[in-house]
Structure 1
Amino acid sequence: MKSIFITGTDTDVGKTYITAGLAITLRKMNIDVGVMKPFAAGVKQKKGFKSEDVEILSNSAKIDDPEELVNPQFFPISASPYTAWKKLKIKPKIPLILSSFKKLSKKHEMMLVEGMGGTMTPILKNYFVTDLIKDMKIPTIIVTRSKVGTVNHTIMTVKMCQKYKIPIKGIIINNFDKGYPINQLKKDLESLTGIKVLGSIPFIKDMSDKSLYRIFKKNIDMKLVLK
């Protein structure tokens, strides 16, 4: 069973909650799913995991993997790994990321890897998220939003993945903006990119396992996710 890299058209498109929802759904389908966020950044939490995103993912998958494997590098600054490197003098460690992914892949039937920002978020000067996905040798799911302008961002993301020869399993629309009619957006994205829309997720108030499982099972084509 293939692992999947969850990338986005931009930052703050909801990659963490989409990844969490997929993890919960796969787990309830009796699939041993592991999670990973290679790079995380922001304000360090006082308790538990350094990153809130990593904590959300780990709780969703119900794993007990060491934090240093799930999130090999944390930067205490809201910035790309490249910017964090320049400001904090903490160089992103690509070999560490890849070795951690390999170890986790051996422990779990399937892995969900959440990226940082969009596909061209810089990690090193000439190494981007697209390079990381390619080095992991796994396909991606693109998370996009529903505000006007999303078609432009989605097409650019698809074209960059195609340029790097990254297989795209599909697109998930995170419908929390409610600016673009979903049925029309789905038709437009599929027509313009040739990539299947796996489904759309409405704004979610209840983030419990039960709620996320119900919503994802209803709104996402899990057969295509697992294909």
Structure 2
Amino acid sequence: MQTIFITGTDTDAGKTYVAVALLQGLKALGYRTVAQKPVAAGVNGAGFNTDALQLQQHATEQLSYEMVNPYCLTDAVAPHLAAAKARLSIEPAVLTKELQKLQAVDADVALVEGAGGWLLPLDDHSTMADWVAEQQLPVLLVVGMKLGCLNHALLTVREIERSGLKLVGWVANCIDPDMAYQQENINYLQQQLTAPCLGVLPYQSEPQLNTSLASAFIKQLRN
């Protein structure tokens, strides 16, 4: 199984949107998939995180909600703050145990979606990036295309590379339909980032089935 960690340039960059697009495309190409959002903050009326529910719905191998989202925190704030309010602690050892459960499922690809941006705090001393580095997971970066994304993307890539992890590629997710010079910004990132752009997702409410992103993703994993 290939396990990939999906991070974003910021909160609302579209990590789940891209993950769903990948899951849909991979399924259409005949790949078996599992997905996990280890830490999520913010729940619906039933007490579930909607991002995690989407991952659960679109993966080919159906897992329990608890396996998809081990840490489900009520308040839609930074997870370490939500955990503190709930008198919980986010334990890296628990994240590792849950990841191992995910990787034990018979599937071809596992997508593990982060929360917020790359340096998301788990507590006062560690970040999600620290845990990803410990697990040595390859990383896919979602760049939310909006004003300021160049700085966010370059800083995030610098930190990923500083962690010694492989950046398998990045996706330009067009979250702002009115962004000025959008294509010029994408061109700049293509010039500056050594990892390839695996796709450009247009602004739309729901990802449309398109296997090109999944095909580019699989091709890059094989390199």
Q: Confirm or deny a common fold (TM above 0.5).
A: yes
TM-fit CA distance, 1:218: 6.5
Aligned positions of 1:147-186 closer than 5 A: 147-178=146-177, 179-186=179-186
Aligned mates of 1:142, 1:180 — CA distance in 2: 22
Match of 2:4 in 1: 4
TM-fit CA distance, 1:183: 3.4
- 5+ residue gaps, structure 1, are none
Structure 1 stretches of 4+ with a deviation exceeding 6 A read none
RCO higher in structure (CA 8 A, sep ≥6): 2
Aligned mates of 1:197, 1:218 — CA distance in 2: 10
Residue 185 of structure 1 aligns with an amino acid whose one-letter code is: N
Contact 1:199–1:220, Cα closer than 8 Å, also in 2: no
1:43 aligns with 2:43: yes
**Under a length normalisation based on structure 1, what TM-score does the superposition of the two structures give?**
0.89
Aligned counterpart for 1:67 among listed residues 65, 75, 99? 65
Match of 1:199 in 2: 199
TM-fit CA distance, 1:62: 3.5
TM-fit CA distance, 1:182: 4.2
Change (3 A) 1:84 1:121: same
Change (3 A) 1:33 1:90: same
**Under a length normalisation based on structure 2, what TM-score does the superposition of the two structures give?**
0.90
Aligned mates of 2:49, 2:94 — CA distance in 1: 18
Contact 1:35–1:61, Cα closer than 8 Å, also in 2: yes
- 5+ residue gaps, structure 2, are none
Aligned positions of 1:135-150 closer than 5 A: 135-150=134-149
Aligned mates of 1:45, 1:165 — CA distance in 2: 40
Match of 1:82 in 2: 80
Contact 2:32–2:60, Cα closer than 8 Å, also in 1: no
Which secondary structure state, in structure 2, belongs to the residue aligned with residue 3 of structure 1?
Answer: strand
Give a deviation string over 1:60-93, Cα, whole Å, max 9, x none. 1143212221111111011222112332211112
Change (3 A) 1:5 1:218: closer
Aligned mates of 1:203, 1:42 — CA distance in 2: 24
Change (3 A) 1:197 1:180: farther
Match of 1:24 in 2: 24
Residue 82 of structure 1 aligns with an amino acid whose one-letter code is: H
Match of 2:216 in 1: 221
Percent identity between the two aligned chains? 26
Aligned mates of 1:182, 1:106 — CA distance in 2: 41
Residue 222 of structure 1 aligns with an amino acid whose one-letter code is: F
Aligned mates of 1:86, 1:65 — CA distance in 2: 28
Contact 2:8–2:144, Cα closer than 8 Å, also in 1: no
Aligned pair count?
220
Aligned mates of 1:65, 1:145 — CA distance in 2: 29
Q: Which is worse superposed, 72-81 or 173-182?
A: 173-182
Contact 1:201–1:219, Cα closer than 8 Å, also in 2: no
Aligned mates of 2:167, 2:134 — CA distance in 1: 15
